[in-house]
């Protein structure tokens, strides 16, 4: 399994390309980011090529999928995001599905599925994987629609397209329902990326209730070939936190 460093979590105040170089100097070979607007696409791509550090994933610019009234805006944002991803060499886009609108869940579920089906030509043209993300509604994202992993997997099966997958965030799912290893290893066909953080606190992995060494061992044994992003708030100097991560989990 590859380990991916989200630049905003560790080096958000640093020039983006300098941050890529810093991540590479620490021994990691892929990064991700969220808001990509304002980046110099050609400079980012050149920096990735020079350092051997891949920009693996970014976020879409629009997140409202539960309300059909925003479908065109989401699809327009997806196209723009795919074009940016292609320019920088990113192959994955993370998207959120939006807040619970109060409409029956069956209708909101259908709206998400229909929006993702409508996205197929855009994804095919750009060869980019879009990943929906279940989030926790107890601590970080009150009112968000999609919190249950099983519903996310159902959506993927209904859309049935190789460029539509899930980013499974271990921290969020630990908050909401646990059952981490079975939910991952039994649904690898739906999962294109993982995120990680310690619970409680969303901090350095070694300070939480999950045994990430054991989780990753089981996920690797099940045949997962993707990456896991370290999406946490470091409790120490960010560079020291990444060095400690390597010492504990990789060395």
Q: What is the pLDDT of residue 179?
A: 97
- The pLDDT mean for the chain works out to 98
- The pLDDT tens digits of the residues spanning 110-120 come to 999 999 999 99
Q: What is the pLDDT of residue 10?
A: 98
User: What percentage of the chain carries pLDDT values higher than 70?
Assistant: 100
The number of domains in the chain is 1
Q: What is the pLDDT of residue 210?
A: 98
Find how far residue 44's CA is from the centre of its chain: 19
- CATH number of domain containing 80: 3.20.20.150
Q: What is the pLDDT of residue 207?
A: 98
User: What percentage of the chain carries pLDDT values higher than 90?
Assistant: 100
On the question of pLDDT at 251 being above 90, the answer is no
Contact 204, 232 (CB under 8 A): yes
Domain range for 117? 2-250
Distance of alpha carbon 57 from alpha carbon 172, whole angstroms: 18
Q: What is the pLDDT of residue 77?
A: 98
* Buried/exposed code over 216-249 (b: 16+ C-beta within 10 A; e: otherwise): beebeeeebebbbbbbbebeeebeebbebbeeee
- Based on the number of CB atoms within 10 Å of its own CB, is 185 exposed (0-12), middle (13-18) or buried (19 or more)? middle
Q: What is the pLDDT of residue 176?
A: 98
Contact 192, 131 (CB under 8 A): yes
CA angle 245, 95, 170 (to 5 degrees): 35
Angle between helices 71-88 and 41-51 (to 10 degrees): 50
Q: What is the DSSP letter of 250?
A: I
Whether cis (ω within 30° of 0) applies to the bond prior to 76 is no
For residue 89, name the pLDDT band (cuts at 50, 70, 90): very high
- The pLDDT tens digits of the residues spanning 3-61 come to 999 999 999 999 999 999 999 999 999 999 999 999 999 999 999 999 999 999 999 99
pTM: 0.97
The conformational region for residue 138 under phi > 0 = left, psi -120 to 50 = alpha, else beta, is alpha
Tokens read off for 135: 């989030």
- The pLDDT tens digits of the residues spanning 156-204 come to 999 999 999 999 999 999 999 999 999 999 999 999 999 999 999 999 9
Contact 223, 186 (CB under 8 A): no
Mean pLDDT computed over 105-114: 98
Contact 171, 178 (CB under 8 A): no
- Contacting residues for 78 by C-beta, under 8 A, at least 6 apart: 60, 62, 93, 95, 119, 122, 123, 130
For residue 92, name the pLDDT band (cuts at 50, 70, 90): very high
Task: Point out which residues pair with 228 in neighbouring strands.
Answer: 3, 194
Mean pLDDT computed over 83-106: 98
Our CA dihedral for 105, 108, 114, 118, rounded to 10 degrees, sits at -150
Contact 168, 149 (CB under 8 A): yes
């Amino acid at each position: 399994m590859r380990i991916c460093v989200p630049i905003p979590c560790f080096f958000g105040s640093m020039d983006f390309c300098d941050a890529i170089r810093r991540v590479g100097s620490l021994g990691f070979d892929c990064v991700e980011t969220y808001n990509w607007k304002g980046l110099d696409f050609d400079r980012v791509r050149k920096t990735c090529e020079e350092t051997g550090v891949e920009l693996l994933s970014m976020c879409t610019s629009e997140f409202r999928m539960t309300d059909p009234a925003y479908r065109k805006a989401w699809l327009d944002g997806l196209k723009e995001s795919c074009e940016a991803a292609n320019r920088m060499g990113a192959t994955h886009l993370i998207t959120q599905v939006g807040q619970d609108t109060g409409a029956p869940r069956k209708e909101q579920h259908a709206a998400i599925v229909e929006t993702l089906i409508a996205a197929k030509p855009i994804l095919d043209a750009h060869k980019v994987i879009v990943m929906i993300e279940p989030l926790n509604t107890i601590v970080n994202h009150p009112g968000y629609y999609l919190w249950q992993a099983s519903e996310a997997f159902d959506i993927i099966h209904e859309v049935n397209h190789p460029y539509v997958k899930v980013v499974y965030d271990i921290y969020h799912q630990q908050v909401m329902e646990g059952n981490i290893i079975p939910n991952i290893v039994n649904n690898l066909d739906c999962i294109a990326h993982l995120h990680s953080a310690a619970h409680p606190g969303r901090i350095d992995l070694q300070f939480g209730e999950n045994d990430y060494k054991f989780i990753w061992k089981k996920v690797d044994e099940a045949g997962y070939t993707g990456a896991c992003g370290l999406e946490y708030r470091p409790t120490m100097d960010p560079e020291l936190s990444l060095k400690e991560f390597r010492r504990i989990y990789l060395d």
